Amino acid sequence: MRRAVVVVGLLLLLLAVGFFLGLRVGSIDTSFQTIVNAFLNYDAQDTAHYSIVHLRLPRLLLAFLTGASLAFAGYLMQALVNNALADPYLLGTASGASLGASLSFFFFADLTFLGLYLPPFFALAGSFLVTLVVVVLGSRRGQLIPSQMLLVGIALSSLLTALVSLIMFLSDSESQLKSVVFWSMGGFEKADWSNLGYPATALVLALVLFFFLQRHLNVLLLGADRAETLGVDVRAIRWVMLVTVSVVTGFAVAFSGPVGFVGLMVPHITRALLGTTNRFNLLACALAGGVFLVGCDLISRLLYPPVGLPVGIITSFFGVPFFVYLLRRKNYRFS
Amino acid sequence: MRKPAAPAASGKHTVTDDLGRKVSLPVKPRRILALAPSMTEMLFAVADTATIIARTQNCDYPAAVLTKPVVINYPMDYERLLALKPEVVFATEGIISLETAAQIEKLGIPVYYQAYDSVSDVLRGLRDLGKLLQQEPKANALADSLQNQLNQLVAGAATSSHKPTVLAITWRDPIYVYGRNTLFTDKLRYAGGQNAVKDVFAQAYPALTREYILQINPEVVLGGSFDQLEKTFFSLYPELRRITAYRQKRIFPVDDDLMSRPSPRVVESIQELKRTLR
C-alpha cells in the first residue's frame, strides 16, 4: 500500500511537470505568467492564450488519455491471454483501424459524413469489425480460447497490414501516402476538445469497473483452471475484459493512430514497480501510460519542431532502455 | 553549368550536371526522355520533339506529350526504360533518387540532373538544355523572352509597398505547405507577395501545426476556393478560422501543376499568383 502511494504520487508529480512543460512548448513563446493568465484571465483575442487553451491543453489530454488507455488495455490483454508478450493490438484493433483510416484517406478524402471527419470514424469501425472477427474465430461454442484468439489476431493483422500496403502501393498521390504513414505512426496534432470525450468516457468507465474486478485479474494470472477452482467465473470475466479492451483501444487508436510500445511495456513496468498483485496496479498502469506518452510527445516536439516526430518513434527510443533495465532486475516476475 | 569537354571520337562528351555529377552524353542526343513532368515540359520547349521518345505516367503538358509512350517512374520500370533505348535520361532533383539514377546508369543509360532553387535557375536550365541538345538559338530565345516578362513583373511589383504573406497548402492531414526553400518563395517575390513560412525546415514541403499557422497568421491562403477549404480544411481545423486570410476571405485556388512544376510555364504561374494576390 505504501509503495503504491509513493509510485502513484510520483507519477502524479511527473504528470504535473509534463503538463506544465507541455503548456509552455510550442511555436509561440510562452512564459509561466502567460500560462497562468490564459486560465485566470483568458483573452480570446490573444493568440498565445488561445493556443494554450485550445491547442496545447487538448493535445496533452489526448496524449495522456491515449497512453493511459493503451497501457490499461495492455494490462488486461496480458491477463486475458496469460502471456507476457500480449498487447492491446493482438485483437487486430490496430490493423483494423489502420485499414479503416487508409480506406478513408484514399477513397473518401474530400467527404465528410454528417459533418464528421471520416478517418477516426473509419478507424473505429475498422477496429471493432476486426476485433469481432478475431473473437468469433478465436472462440468455440461461446467459449473464448485465448491461444487460438491470439493466433487468429496475429494472422488477421498480417493480412490487414498487407491490404494497407496494397492500398498504399496502388496510390498515385504522395500526399495520401503521407497521410497514412503519419497516421500509422501515431500523433496528437488533431486533438480537439470535441474529440476528447469518447476516449475519456471509455477509459474512466473501464477503470472504475476493473478497480472492482482487480482481484479476479490477479487470480486469472494463475491460469484458467486454478481461477475456476478459486471461484472465478472465467468465461464471464474474459468476455468483459475482451469488450473493455476493444472499446478502450478502439477509441484511443481512432483519434491518435496506433501508437506502439505503450500497451506492451507499461504494464510490465508497473508490475516491476508494484509487484504482480497490487490492487493499485491497474490505476498506476493507466497513469504511467499517460505520463509516458505526455513525456514522449513533449520530447518529439522539442526534437523536431513544430510538428514533432511521430510519437511511436519516441516511445520505443526512450521506453526500451528503461524497460530492459527493469526486466533485468532480479525480482521481476510476470505472474 | 558544365563545361563541355572536347567531343570524343565516339561522338560523346563529358559534362557536369547541376548536382556536380560527371555525365557522359552523346554530343547530339537522338533519343531522350525526362523522368519528371516538369522536365518533360522543359524538353518540349527546347528539344526537337521527335527526339523525345517517352513520358512518365504524370506527364500531361503540353498536349503533344500524350502521344508518347509511357514509362512508369515510381516504382521505376527499368525494363521498359531499357527497351526504349534512350541515349540520355533527364531527371529533376527531388523527384528521382540518386539510387534510382545509379540503377539506370548500370543499364548503360546516362542520367543528367537539373536542380532549381530560384526562378532564374529554371531559365538557366533552359539555356543549359539548349546547349546539351544543340538547340541553343531556340532555348536562348525562350529564356530571353521569359526574362523580359520577369523584368516587367519586377518593375510592376516595385510599385506596391505591402507584400502580403501567403501560405500555400498542398495537403490537409497532416497540413503540408510550400516551405521557405521552394521555388514558390521566389515566385512570390516576383508576384509581389512573400511566403508566410519564415523558417527553413529540413523538408521542402514541411508539415505544420495549427499553432504554427496561428503564429504566422497568413494574409492569403492558396490551395482551394473559400468554399472548398471551408468544407475540407477549416471544418477539420476550426481553430484556424482566426487567421487573417480566413477573416478577410482571401483564400484562392491555384493550378497545382502550374504552381509546383519548375518549367517554362514558371512566368505564367507567377502571373497567376500576381492576379490572385491583387
Strand blocks (E) in chain A: 112-113, 116-117, 139-140, 143-144
In a domain, A95, yes or no: yes
**pLDDT by residue (tens digit) across B174-216?**
999 999 999 999 999 999 999 999 999 999 999 999 999 999 9
Please name which of B3, B60, B42, B258 lies closest in space to residue B143, comparing C-alpha atoms: B42
The mean pLDDT value of chain B amounts to 93
Is A306 part of the contact surface with chain B (CB cutoff 8 Å)? yes
* pLDDT per residue rounded down to tens, chain A (335 residues): 789 999 999 999 999 999 999 999 999 999 999 999 999 999 999 999 999 999 999 999 999 999 999 999 999 999 888 888 889 998 898 899 999 999 998 887 666 655 567 889 899 999 999 999 999 999 998 888 888 998 999 999 999 999 999 998 888 777 788 888 888 889 999 899 998 999 999 999 999 999 889 888 888 888 888 889 988 899 899 999 999 999 999 999 999 999 999 999 999 989 888 988 888 899 999 999 999 999 999 999 999 999 999 999 999 888 888 778 877 876 667 76
In a domain, A262, yes or no: yes
First to last CA, chain B: 37
The count of domains in chain A is: 1
Cβ <8 Å between B211 and A28: yes
In a domain, A323, yes or no: yes
Whether omega before A306 lies within 30 degrees of 0, making that bond cis, reads yes
CATH of the domain at A136: 1.10.3470.10
- Residue A110 has a pLDDT of 63
Contacts of B96 in chain A (CB under 8 A): none
What are the C-alpha distances in Å from B36 to residues A50, A68, A70, B88? 43, 47, 44, 14
**pLDDT by residue (tens digit) across B250-266?**
999 999 999 999 999 99
Q: Spell out the residues 6+ positions from residue B155 whose beta carbon is closer than 8 angstroms to its own.
A: none
User: pLDDT at residue B8 above 60?
Assistant: no
Q: Spell out the residues 6+ positions from residue A255 whose beta carbon is closer than 8 angstroms to its own.
A: A62, A66, A120, A190, A191, A195, A198, A199
Is A54 part of the contact surface with chain B (CB cutoff 8 Å)? yes
In a domain, A30, yes or no: no
User: pLDDT at residue B5 above 70?
Assistant: no
Please name which of B198, B209, B201, B277 lies closest in space to residue B245, comparing C-alpha atoms: B277
From the list A47, A110, A119, the residue facing B214 with the nearest CB is A47
- Residue A112 has a pLDDT of 60
In a domain, A183, yes or no: yes
Kindly write down the DSSP assignment for every residue of B91-109, as one continuous string: EETTTS-HHHHHHHHHTT-
Min Cα separation B139/chain A (Å) = 32
Distance CA B150, CA B194 (A): 17
Cβ <8 Å between B209 and A112: no
In a domain, A221, yes or no: yes
CA atoms within 13 A on the CB side of B171: 20
Cβ-contact A74, A86 below 8 angstroms: yes
In a domain, A91, yes or no: yes
Reported pTM: 0.91
Whether omega before B164 lies within 30 degrees of 0, making that bond cis, reads no
Is A113 part of the contact surface with chain B (CB cutoff 8 Å)? no
Burial class (CB in 10 A: 0-12, 13-18, 19+), A324: exposed
In a domain, A141, yes or no: yes
Is A28 part of the contact surface with chain B (CB cutoff 8 Å)? yes
Which structural domain range is residue A303 located in?
64-328
The rounded radius of gyration (Å) of the Cα atoms in chain B is 20
Cβ <8 Å between B211 and A56: yes
